[in-house]
Amino acid sequence: MALQESTGLDVYQTYFEPTTYLGYYKMGQNPVGDDVLQFSLKHYNATFKPGGLRGKLLIDIGSGPTIYQLLSACESFEEIIATDYTDKNRLELEKWLKKMPGAFDWSPVVKYVCELEGDRDKWAEKEERLRRTVRRVLKCDVGKERPLEPAVLPLADCLLSSLCLESACGTLEAFRDALRHLRPLLRPRGHLVLTGSFDCTFYMVGDSRFTVLPLKEKVLREVLQESGFTIERLEKAQRGPETVLEKCSDYTGLFFLVAQKND
Ligand SMILES: C[S@@+](CC[C@H](N)C(=O)[O-])C[C@H]1O[C@@H](n2cnc3c(N)ncnc32)[C@H](O)[C@@H]1O
Neighbours of 173 (CB within 10 A): 10
CA separation, residue 167 to residues 76, 140, 151, 171, 189 (Å): 28, 14, 23, 10, 26
Average pLDDT, the chain: 96
| Rounded distance from Cα 164 to ligand 1 centre (Å) | 4
The rounded distance, in Å, linking the Cα atoms of 123 and 128 is 9
- Say how far apart CA 220 and CA 140 lie, in whole Å: 22
CATH architecture group of domain 3-261: 3-Layer(aba) Sandwich (3.40)
Q: How far is CA 4 from CA 20, 61, 168, 194, in A?
A: 19, 20, 10, 23
**Distance, C-alpha 240 to centroid of its chain:** 19
Q: What is the maximum alpha-carbon separation in the chain?
A: 50
Measured in residues, the chain has a length of 263
Q: How confident is the model at residue 263 (pLDDT cuts 50, 70, 90)?
A: confident
Residue 3 pLDDT > 80: no
CA–centroid distance, 178 to ligand 1, in Å, is: 13
- pLDDT class of 115 with cuts at 50, 70, 90: very high
Mean pLDDT of all residues in 60-78: 98
Domain boundaries, the chain: 3-261
Kindly give the distance from the C-alpha atom of residue 142 to the centroid of ligand 1, in angstroms, as a whole number: 10
Average pLDDT over residues 119-139: 98
What is the whole-number distance in angstroms between the Cα of residue 135 and the centre of ligand 1?
A: 19
What single letter denotes the amino acid at residue 208?
Answer: S
Percent of the chain predicted with pLDDT > 90: 95
Task: Identify the pLDDT of residue 245.
Answer: 87
- Residues in contact with ligand 1 (CB, 6 Å cut-off): 12, 16, 62-64, 66, 69, 84-86, 89, 140-143, 162-164, 167-168
Residue 112, strand partner residues: none
Amino acid 196: pLDDT: 98
The strands making up 77-84's β-sheet, listed across from edge to edge, are 134-139, 77-84, 55-60, 156-162, 186-198, 253-261, 229-238
* Pocket residue to mutate for ligand 1, from 10, 11, 12, 27, most atoms within 8 A of Cβ: 12
Ligand 1, atom 19, lies closest to the CA of 141
Residue 5 confidence class, pLDDT cut points 50, 70, 90: very low
pLDDT tens by residue, 30-42: 999 999 999 999 9
CB atoms within 10 A of CB 135: 13
Q: How would DSSP label each residue in 23-76? A: GGGSTTT-HHHHHHHHHHHHHHHHHHSTTS--EEEEEESS-TT--GGGTTGGGT
